[in-house]
Amino acid sequence: MHIREFIEKNYPEYYSIEHYPADKTAAFCKVDAPWGIFSNFGRTPLVIDGVAFDCSEKVFQVMKFADPVSRREVYQAKGQTMKMKAKHFEKAGTVRADWGEIIVDAMKFCLTEKYRQSAEFRQALEESRGLFIVEDQTSFSKKDPDTWGAKLSDDGKHYVGPNLMGRLLMELRDAGGQLDYSLPDNAASFQDIFKI
């Protein structure tokens, strides 16, 4: 299943095409650009279950897998290589059987931990008050944005797309840093990475 299908089936409240006025957004794309800390690749080190992660994207990608070998290899990969490694293991079939049912809860967990552990991230969220947060995928080669982001309209006046990441970030900001989520006990257990 594609991410969109997981969201439509298990989290229908988070799948819709939204429109955001471009002049009222905190749009992020690159880590080193304005609002870049909102990216899951933003430089916000985290420690979860005694394991150090260099960014919340790594936490999310490792959570996707059930077996320790896949988890360890994804954990050890750097930057975009990590996502390619994750895609490799997705094709190999080692994704958690319940991943589609917990995918948004997993992201909520990652964002909540990022908020709890990064003062810089908390400050940026506070500074974005009054703005819509949008993951800007305008430069992506695909015609339409994926589930996580939105693209600028042809006239440049609106961002259009599902913008799931932006929606979760706004929810986190507006809820004072706490998102409700439900995960199986083993979803955020990472000690097996070091026990292979």
Percent of the chain residues past pLDDT 90, beyond the cut: 85
pLDDT tens-digit readout, 128-180: 999 999 999 999 888 878 899 999 999 999 999 999 999 999 999 999 999 99
192 pLDDT band (50/70/90 cuts)?
A: confident
Range 89-118 average pLDDT: 96
Q: How far apart are CA 29 and CA 190, in angstroms?
A: 28
1 pLDDT band (50/70/90 cuts)?
A: low
Say if residues 169 and 111 touch (Cβ distance below 8 Å).
yes
- Rounded to two decimals, the pTM is 0.94
Say if residues 69 and 77 touch (Cβ distance below 8 Å).
no
- The whole-chain average pLDDT of the chain stands at 94
pLDDT for res 131: 98
More confident residue, 182 or 146: 182
Range 8-36 average pLDDT: 95
pLDDT for res 196: 47
pLDDT for res 194: 75
pLDDT tens-digit readout, 43-81: 999 999 999 999 999 999 999 998 899 999 999 999 889
Query: How does DSSP assign 116-165, residue by residue?
Result: HH-HHHHHHHHHTTTSEEEEB-TTSSSSS--TT-BEE-TTSSEEEE--HH
Q: Dihedral through CA 30, CA 35, CA 36, CA 42, nearest 10?
A: -160
pLDDT for res 195: 67
Topology (CATH level 3) of domain 17-189: Tetracycline Repressor; domain 2 (1.10.357)
Percent of the chain residues past pLDDT 70, beyond the cut: 98
Range 3-9 average pLDDT: 92
